[in-house]
Amino acid sequence: MKLVRESIQFKRDENPYKSVGVGTYELIELWLNKYNIHEYTINDDYSIDVNNMVNLSMKNLNNLPDYIQFNKVDGAFYIDNNNLTTLKGCPKDIRFSFYVDHNNLTSLEYCPEIIKDTFNFAFNNISSLDYLPKEVWGDLYTYRNARKFTRYEIKKRCNVKKSINL
């Protein structure tokens, strides 16, 4: 029997799985590259910070994979015109607009608490304003959902700095 000795060089202070290109880090990197998302950091908890906008519009996504969890996005986050049924995996902090219109959403669960520009969730199946952000610094678009919302309902739950478009 012949023994083979091999060694793997790990980078100091780096996750060993990331060093050898296997595991969750590799899955995340492959997925981000597939959708042309650049300028990102994968945090120790596997959440993703992006120093740019994210455009996942019209990618025929049913949902984000379980291993994808955006944390902070310094630009706009477009995930409109897909087949999403949940916002799970979407950013917790968005520094610009958040477009989730034209999907199959029934809830705003996993929506960020503050959206620092426009928020568009029109053309979905949302019937409740539960999980609506506390603040929207730009315009809010709600039309063509499972039910029509009133300005009064929205203003009770959310501080919209610009206009509410029903």
Q: pLDDT (tens digit, 9 = 90+) per residue, 14-63?
A: 655 555 556 899 999 999 999 999 999 999 999 999 999 999 999 999 99
Which pair of tokens denotes residue 8?
């793997």
| Cα–Cα distance measured from residue 84 to residue 113, given in angstroms and rounded to the nearest whole number | 20
> Are the C-beta atoms of 122 and 145 separated by less than 8 Å?
yes
> Are the C-beta atoms of 126 and 149 separated by less than 8 Å?
no
Mean pLDDT of 103-107: 98
Global confidence as pTM: 0.86
Pairing type for strands 140-141 and 119-120 reads parallel
Mean pLDDT of 134-150: 96
Amino acid at position 143, single letter: Y
Q: How much is the pLDDT for 23?
A: 84
